[in-house]
Structure 1
Amino acid sequence: MSAGATNVFAGLSLVLDRMSERRDEQAWLAEQAGCGEARYLLLDPSGESYLLRDAESLRWLSGAERCELFAELPTSLLGIADGCPHFLLALDEGHALETLEERLAARRIGLREAGLRLPTAEAGLFAYAKGLAHWQRETRFCSGCGAPLERVAAGHRMKCTDASCGRLHFPRTDAAIIAIVEYEGACLLGRQAGWPKGRWSALAGFVEPGESLEDAVRREVAEEAGVRVGEVHYHSSQPWPLPASLMVGFIGAAIDPTIDLRDGELEDARWFTPGQIVAGLADGSFAPPTRLSVSYQLLADWLREHAGLELDALTT
């Protein structure tokens, strides 16, 4: 990836200490929750959060607001940033969300939109909180014995309430690959039928059991486009809690460029030269992947390396 470029939702470790080693310290957690600098990120049952009404920034609750409005809700520690403890508050269906918008002078926003509008750190915190809240909602019963689970470790583990079982459950992430494949000065891009007209993107798919990330690239590209891939090199990764994935980006080299849309998942797949992309951007027949996705950075870096072109400049 080019110097200074960061995938949306990534880079959170530069500003946030997750304090994972202290998640079981109840006294310390209570101290953090009670301090005047504590901040609380609200998520509604659909996974949306709240922005300030007149600014592109998250509407964080203070400790006093949390005690007044949601004292009964459990909190989950996100970590320490700028010397302030940050927590997640996940609302349930019983809360009057429209009334809450008025009370907080805020407006709701989804993660996809927020990723393109919020500062890097806030977008990353929103993604982190959304992924954690989704896992908490989906993980309510022990997969070993079926007993109810209780939240422990500041919201980062679930423990079986059956003493004879006591199994611990940890947040899960579904690994997925996304790859730009190249061959003799062209790159392979595909599109799905439901996408906006002219939209093209790198190929992606989930990793299967017993499969390396590199082998997943080869299999997915072969399944979706019929193209055989040889060498595969890592590019970058991106949290993708929509709802629970990690996108791992790669650059692959094709052995056989023959396209065969065998499984019907893609509406079309084509090889694009830099010149064809530039011409398509100019006449409106080509739309790059959204900047939200690592696919955008994969294409941007490929164009820079092969043609000295800046995708940002071409799309503005």
Structure 2
Amino acid sequence: MKHAETVTFGGSALDRAAEIRLDTDAVSAGAARPEARAVLFWRGKPLIRTERPAELARLPMDHPVLSAASGERILLGREDGALRFAFDLSDWAPEDLDEAMLGGFLDPSEQRHPLLPETMAFLELRRIMTWLGPRDAELAATGKALFGWHETHRFCSKCGSPSDMSQAGWQRRCPACAGTHFPRTDPVVIMLITRGNSVLMGRSPGWPEGMYSLLAGFVEPGETLEAAVRREVFEETGVEVGRVSYLASQPWPFPASLMFGCAGEATSGEITIDPVEIEDALWVSREEMMAIFAGEHPVVKPARKGAIAHFLLENWLADRLD
């Protein structure tokens, strides 16, 4: 697709400053510059300036709130020649915290730190991803994915000893066996499967009532993207797929996936769902999809805005998949 990188979390051309990750002196010197800025996260939620248009908050490196952050910082990259760092504030506990609101399909809660103005809050990234511009979205997705990886990889997978953050947050190193470990990204195929004038849609258990999206699944070891598309579609719906082509990709930090958007041509039409995998599947015509996007369909609601499924369906409707 000619405009593939206009998908949410893609296309900002962030300078990731990878060449200085091993140079601790250069990183420290960059952090000491007055133009350097900090991006804060609390339990994976980025700090946002909530005044519209909303934007990712960037704080001076000497802001008092950073004293409550963990001692580990991650180098995200450069903007206008100045370094940007991610800090984690997850040890802070808001007085009015409602744990039940966290971690659901959509978290509407907002957390405000007493050392920050009321116009700044920690917001769930899935909720606000379409509010942000490309650069803010890429910084937020990168920081969230990296902190999530560090949280679940604190021990060496070779010997089991505690490991340390290194390379400005882009590696973990084991002091016991010298093993090195790098951030993990899981490849996932998400499929625009068509048959004539219709596209194949499915829904997972636990989704909001009426919500359907494109089928998706993890790529297995030793498998091509094309093979993964055919396997996943057949496993979930019994529909056989012939020709497969690549369309676009999207980083998806929930927690650490890279979505490969693919188009596939169905060679069969009968649906037999696997209830372990999905709750329902159906063929939706272009005319029905237009009604769904307009909010006029009596049953089906559109895929989540900002997700690559919505992006691919929107471009399919507009005949812009080239």
User: Structure 1 length normalisation: TM-score?
Assistant: 0.88
Task: Supply the AA of the counterpart residue of 1:50.
Answer: L
Q: 1:240 maps to which residue?
A: 252
Residue 257 (str. 1) matches residue 269 (str. 2): yes
Whole-angstrom distance in 2 between the partners of 1:228 and 1:117: 38
Q: Map of 1:16-35 to 2, 5 A cutoff?
A: 16-35=14-33
8 Å CA contact retained: 2:64, 2:115: no
Note if contact 1:114-1:123 (Cα within 8 Å) is conserved in structure 2.
Answer: no
* Residue of structure 1 in register with 2:168 after alignment: 154
- Deviation (angstroms), 1:277: 2.2
Show the counterpart of 1:10. Answer: 10
* Mapped contact 1:181–1:252 kept (Cα < 8 A): yes
Matched, 1:209 2:221: yes
| Cα offset, 1:72, TM superposition | 6.6
CA distance in 2, matches of 1:36, 1:260: 60
Query: What is the Cα deviation at residue 192 of structure 1?
Result: 2.3
Give the distance between the partners of 1:210 and 1:66, measured in 2 at CA: 49
1:51, 1:107 within 8 Å by CA — same for their partners in 2? yes
Task: State the AA in 2 paired with 1:47.
Answer: G
Paired residue secondary structure (2:55):
coil
| Equivalent residue in structure 1 for 2:233, among 208, 216, 221 | 221
Specify which of 102, 111, 135 is matched with residue 121 of structure 1.
135
Structure 2 counterpart of 1:7, one-letter code: V
Q: 1:193 to 1:140 in 2, by over 3 A?
A: closer
CA deviation profile, 1:28-85 (whole Å, cap 9, x unmatched): 11111000011111111x2112122534122222022168625872211111012221
Q: What corresponds to 1:90 in structure 2?
A: 88
Contact preservation (8 Å) 1:40, 1:66: no
Rounded to whole Å, the distance in 1 between the matches of 2:228 and 2:212 is 21
- Secondary structure of residue in 1 paired with 2:234: helix
Q: What SS is found at the alignment partner of 1:178?
A: strand
Which of 193, 199, 203 pairs up with 1:181? 193
Residue number in structure 1 paired with 2:79: 81
Q: How does 1:269-280 map to 2 (within 5 A)?
A: 269-280=281-292
- In the TM superposition, residue 124 of structure 1 has moved relative to its aligned partner by 1.4
Paired residue type of 1:120: P
Give the alignment partner of residue 67 of structure 2, picking from 69, 75, 79.
69
The residue that corresponds to 2:150 in the other structure is: 136
Aligned partner of residue 62 in structure 2, secondary structure: helix
Instruction: Give the partner amino acid of 1:174.
Output: D
Q: Give the match's secondary structure for 1:134.
A: helix
Structure 1 moving runs of 4+ over 4 Å: 96-100
Gaps of 5+ in 1: 307-316
Given the alignment, which residue of 23, 33, 54 partners 2:51?
Answer: 54
The gaps in structure 2 that reach 5 residues or longer are: 96-110
CA-atom RMSD, angstroms? 2.2
How far off its partner does 1:132 sit? 0.5
Aligned to 1:112: 126
Relative to 1, partners in 2 of residues 1:33 and 1:97: Cα closer, same or farther, differing over 3 Å?
A: farther
Return the alpha-carbon distance in structure 1 between the equivalents of residues 5 and 186 of structure 2. 24
Aligned partner letter, 1:298: L
How many Å separate the matches in 1 of 2:63 and 2:250? 33
Structure 2 length normalisation: TM-score? 0.87
Q: What is the CA-CA distance between 1:8 and the residue it aligns to? A: 1.0
